[in-house]
Structure 1
Amino acid sequence: MNVNRYIKTVIKYVLRAFSLLFAVSVIAFTLVKLSPVDPVGQYILGTETVSAEHRAELEEYWGVNEPPVKQFFHWFVALLHGDMGTSILYKMPVLTLIKEKFLNTLALMICAWTFSGIIGFSLGCVMGATKDTLCDRTIKKLCLLLCSIPTFWLGLLLLLVFSVWLGLFPIGFSSPIGVLNQDVSIWQQIYHLFLPALSLSLMSFANVALHTRQKLIDVLESDYVLFAKARGEGRFTILRRHGLRNILLPALTLQFASFAELFGGSVLAENVFSYPGLGSAVSAAGLNSDVPLLLGITLFSALFVFTGNLIANVLYGVIDPKIKEEQD
């Protein structure tokens, strides 16, 4: 391996990540400053009457009255030192809170991401191999229907049917009520995770299935597949040698591109199922004007999506070595 080329690639991705985080931080900070959010008012909400002198001291301590550019500079410098501030709502460091909440969100997204990828790719292959048949038309209509259903509505429907009517799954939360975290078994966690993960996966697998179907149809109608048929290769052999090999990379691209969609969908799914993850935390931060937590989760989500795209770029070269990125 060329060491210089490897170092150059690493530096390039580091610079991309830093520029992305800087741009997101500027935009997020600007939007917060333009919004009617009053962090000091939210901080003293619910407490006894606060004097004007005490409020002025809090505003001076937090630098609320400083120019916006100076506020952003102080916040960004602290961010570079790993300090995202303290959550007004949870009364704990934002970074610590994100670490705790992200574990639940990560488990939810991994399950949903895996289910949507496996189910979507499999159904796409079935539709592509059985083009214009009853099976193809039925699955295609189902996928189009799921694409048009909002995540929160689908989650409420699953909750109503499987939790309220049938009583097969819990109504919400990530563990049984009244049980300490250290006493919760892995099966209890999976039991509470099933419905939110199913709701989230049904939201994204339809796009993978429809995309895979079209790509497989294009491959099966290509000239080299017609030549393979002329040589006497069977349908299964053609699907295995030519079809799957050529549609795997586009499907992988779409699957990793769904990171942002899954993260956005997790906000709705976690609120519907009262699941304690980053999605419910960011909703609570927005509703309660928790500016430090809102900015912290915004930056973390941008970094998370960037990491997903980076993993996809690395896997491109593993699956198809002919794909090379242009060197600056």
Structure 2
Amino acid sequence: MARRILIALGRLALLLAAVSLAVFVLVDLSPIDPVQANVGQAALLGMSDEKRAALAAHWGADVPWPERYLAWAQALLQGDMGTSLRYNQPVAQVIAERAGNSLVLMGIAWAASGVLGFALGVAAALSRGRLLDRAVRAYCFVLASSPTFWVGLLLLTVFAVMLGWLPLGFSVPAGKAAADVTLADALRHVALPAVTLSLVGVANIALHTRAKAIDVMGSDWFRFARARGLSPARAMARHGLRNLALPAVTLQFAQVAEIFGGSVLVEEVFSYPGLGQAAVTAGLGGDVALLAGIALVSAAIVFAGNLAANLIYGLVDPRLRPAGRARAAARRALAGEGASRG
């Protein structure tokens, strides 16, 4: 167990190093001038050459990216993620203020899409060829090919602009003190972004679950359960859901990366102050310290999702545990030895 933990930590360290290095390289290759992006074109034209040079030196715009990366990495090892140019705050503070909003949004969307997708996939398989199955497949095909931002704009137009049921954006009512914000206010503002991510995330899980459920319904043991008088739904509930759990868990944790990527667009559409919106702001402003910090946090979240999936695999299917694999290999070796003797 300790060896597995050390291997996982080593992979995480390599991943974070590669991600941060890629951020610095891409920002350096970007045509965006951080001084112009943060000061503004009009203000920059009115500055003297000495002032421009002083700002470039202050923000490190005139320093080669390898030197900036090494200085940033050394500070990171000491617990300092740098200072954001756009927000004029420590990067850790900016991330801490916005991570809560993003985690709530992604958590709601992740759980809702997983439960709804699994239920729709099983229901479609049980109704294979009938109206419900055709409706679920049509819904999945349309949503799987629809851009996340387009779905968000559509929901925003219908439910916020035309009907006025939900707010246009932000995470809290505009002009309201933080101490006066209630849970109902926060839920109303997160509703449309979460529904957008959930609707888009349902498609892959539902289609894969449907395909696996159809395979389960064609197995010999499922036919035997049906021969005993069980209805398809009861036979699936008693004997089939466990076989669907492993691929569902696989897809659900694979959705972490997709949901995080989708949240970047959704937060922009709904002006939701989360990590995604901060990442866009940092990218457009050449704020490499903030962009690298958000990239590290996002990579750690995705890595944690994949690691959790690996751990849950062992709980769902004991054959995937290290001890289970060792026993399976021993049984195969004994079977081969017995066959050779025979």
Q: Distance in 2 between matches of 1:291 and 1:67?
A: 13
* Letter paired with 1:175: V
Q: Distance in 2 between matches of 1:164 and 1:39?
A: 36
Moved more, 39-48 or 170-179: 39-48
Aligned to 1:258, the other structure's residue is in SS state helix
Tell me the C-alpha RMSD between the 2 structures.
2.0
2:301 corresponds to 1:301 = no
Give the counterpart of 2:24 among 18, 25, 29.
29
Q: Is the 8 A contact 1:39 1:291 kept in 2?
A: no
Give the counterpart of 2:133 among 133, 136, 157.
136
Q: Is the 8 A contact 1:219 1:225 kept in 2?
A: yes
2:180 corresponds to 1:186 = no
Moved more, 316-325 or 141-150: 316-325
Q: Distance in 2 between matches of 1:42 and 1:149?
A: 32
Q: Distance in 2 between matches of 1:57 and 1:94?
A: 22
Shift of 1:39: 2.4
Deviations 1:50-103 (A, max 9, x none): 433344344445554444332221121112222221111111011110111110
Q: Distance in 1 between matches of 2:144 and 2:132?
A: 18
* Letter paired with 2:165: L
Aligned to 1:201, the other structure's residue is in SS state helix
Moved more, 187-196 or 37-46: 37-46
2:8 corresponds to 1:16 = no
2:93 corresponds to 1:96 = yes
Q: Is the 8 A contact 2:34 2:285 kept in 1?
A: no
2:79 corresponds to 1:113 = no
Q: Is the 8 A contact 1:219 1:242 kept in 2?
A: no
Deviations 1:198-249 (A, max 9, x none): 0110011111111110000011111222233344444344202321000111
Q: Is the 8 A contact 1:37 1:289 kept in 2?
A: yes
Alignment of 1:189-228 (within 5 A): 189-228=186-225
User: Per residue, is there more helix in 1 or in 2?
Assistant: 2
2:69 corresponds to 1:72 = yes
Shift of 1:110: 1.0
Q: Distance in 2 between matches of 1:63 and 1:120?
A: 47
Q: Is the 8 A contact 1:268 1:279 kept in 2?
A: yes
**Identical positions, percent:** 49
Moved more, 239-248 or 15-24: 239-248
Shift of 1:150: 1.2
* Letter paired with 1:16: R
Sort the Cα spacing of 1:36 and 1:101 in 2 relative to 1 into closer, same or farther, 3 A: same
Deviations 1:95-119 (A, max 9, x none): 1101111100111111111111111
Counterpart position of 1:268: 265
* Letter paired with 1:281: A
Alignment of 1:46-57 (within 5 A): 47=43, 49-57=46-54
Moved more, 289-298 or 46-55: 46-55
Shift of 1:47: 5.0
Q: Distance in 2 between matches of 1:65 and 1:167?
A: 49
* Letter paired with 2:28: K
* Letter paired with 1:215: K
* Letter paired with 1:19: L
Aligned to 2:271, the other structure's residue is in SS state coil
Q: Larger Cα Rg: Structure 1 or Structure 2?
A: 2
Deviations 1:26-52 (A, max 9, x none): 222111111123223444446574433
Counterpart position of 1:3: none
Deviations 1:133-170 (A, max 9, x none): 11111121111111111111111111111111111111
Q: Is the 8 A contact 2:59 2:85 kept in 1?
A: no
Q: Distance in 2 between matches of 1:321 and 1:234?
A: 29
* Letter paired with 2:224: F
2:312 corresponds to 1:315 = yes
TM-score normalised by length of structure 2: 0.88
Sort the Cα spacing of 1:195 and 1:211 in 2 relative to 1 into closer, same or farther, 3 A: same
Counterpart position of 2:330: none
- Unpaired runs of at least 5, structure 1: 1-5
Q: Is the 8 A contact 1:200 1:262 kept in 2?
A: yes
Q: Distance in 2 between matches of 1:111 and 1:186?
A: 15
* Letter paired with 1:69: P
Q: Is the 8 A contact 1:84 1:95 kept in 2?
A: yes
Counterpart position of 2:329: none
